[in-house]
Amino acid sequence: MDRAMANANSVRGTTAPNPWVGAVLLSKDGEVFDGATRPVGGAHAERSALEAAGQAAHGATLATTLEPCCHIGRTEPCVDHIIEAGVARVLIGVTDPDPHVAGGGIRALRDSGIEVVEGVQEAPVTAQLEPYLHHRRTGRPWVVLKMALTLDGRTAAPDGSSQWITSEEARLDGHALRARCDAILVGAGTVRSDDPSLTVRDVPGTDPQRIVLGQIPADAAVHPCWEMHGELKVLLEQMGEAGVVDLLVEGGANVAAEFHRQGIVNEYVLYLAPALMGGDDGRPVFVDSGSATMSELWRGELRDIRKVGVDLRIELRPIRGD
104: phi then psi, degrees, rounded to nearest 5: -65, -35
Q: Do domains 2-135 and 140-318 have the same CATH topology?
A: no
* Whether residue 115 lies in the annotated active site: no
pLDDT bucket at 322, cuts 50 / 70 / 90: very low
Give me the catalytic one of 31, 46, 67, 250.
Answer: 46
C-alpha span between 315 and 267 (Å, rounded) = 7
In eight-state DSSP terms, residue 294 is G
pLDDT bucket at 302, cuts 50 / 70 / 90: very high
What is the mean predicted confidence (pLDDT) over 116-121?
A: 96
Q: What is the pLDDT of residue 128?
A: 96
What is the mean predicted confidence (pLDDT) over 298-306?
A: 94
C-alpha span between 12 and 14 (Å, rounded) = 6
Q: What is the pLDDT of residue 252?
A: 81
**pLDDT, mean over the chain:** 93
**Confidence (pTM):** 0.89
What is the mean predicted confidence (pLDDT) over 27-53?
A: 95
Return the domain boundaries, the chain: 2-135, 140-318
Which of 75, 83, 86 is closest to 21 using CA atoms? 75
The answer for residues whose C-beta is within 8 angstroms of residue 177's C-beta and 6 or more apart is: 144, 146, 248, 269
Tell me the per-residue pLDDT of 253-283, one tens digit each, with 9 for 90 and over.
Answer: 889 999 999 999 999 999 999 999 998 888 8
What is the mean predicted confidence (pLDDT) over 199-225?
A: 92
Query: What are the counts of helices (DSSP H) followed by strands (DSSP E) for the chain?
Result: 10, 15
Query: For 2-135, CATH number?
Result: 3.40.140.10
Q: What is the pLDDT of residue 291?
A: 85
- pLDDT of residue 4 exceeding 80, the answer is yes
Residue 220: is it exposed, middle or buried by C-beta count within 10 angstroms (0-12/13-18/19+)?
A: middle
Tell me the per-residue pLDDT of 146-171, one tens digit each, with 9 for 90 and over.
Answer: 999 999 999 888 887 888 899 999 99
CATH T-level fold of 140-318: Dihydrofolate Reductase, subunit A (3.40.430)
C-alpha span between 100 and 174 (Å, rounded) = 34
User: What letter represents residue 262's amino acid?
Assistant: Q
C-alpha span between 244 and 184 (Å, rounded) = 10
Tell me the per-residue pLDDT of 103-118, one tens digit each, with 9 for 90 and over.
Answer: 999 999 999 999 999 9
Q: What is the pLDDT of residue 320?
A: 65
- pLDDT of residue 319 exceeding 80, the answer is yes
C-alpha span between 181 and 45 (Å, rounded) = 19
